[in-house]
Amino acid sequence: MIRMLALPLLLAVPAVAWAADPQPFPPLSVTLPQSDSLYPGGASADAINNNCLACHSVEMVQMQPPLGRAGWTAEVAKMRGTYHAPVDDADVPAIIAYLVARDAAAQPPTSSPTQSK
């Protein structure tokens, strides 16, 4: 009999504790970082602007070092495969072409002082 009473009692204790403090967490206002910038380049950037802004900002891409055609092809495949980015097949070549062209303007990674002679 005692065992049969124990379970409802165990369940009741947390419920009472919760009721005593109806708002255990104070309301918070969180401002998430926002970016409304677009990829520059006019029409050449249409494909990347249409497909690559849903989840992260332009800066996520612009801060990457030059990756080359193979690197960018793999990167776009990763976005589509791993992260399920809804990218139209027809837009993939234009996105990769944009990113390869961007490499020329990107800063190559700087070598550390210990590597320079």
Binding footprint of ligand HEC on the chain (CB under 6 A): 51-52, 54-56, 60-61, 64, 75-76, 78-79, 83-85, 87, 95
State how far the Cα of 101 lies from the Cα of 97, in Å rounded to an integer.
6
Name the minimum Å distance from CB 30 to ligand HEC: 18
Per-residue tokens: 1: 């009999």
State how far the Cα of 21 lies from the Cα of 35, in Å rounded to an integer.
39
Name the minimum Å distance from CB 109 to ligand HEC: 14
Q: What is the CA radius of gyration of the chain?
A: 26
Name the minimum Å distance from CB 62 to ligand HEC: 9
CB 106 within 8 A of CB 64: yes
Per-residue tokens: 93: 């070549």
Nearer CB in complex with ligand HEC: 2/104 = 104
Nearer CB in complex with ligand HEC: 84/113 = 84
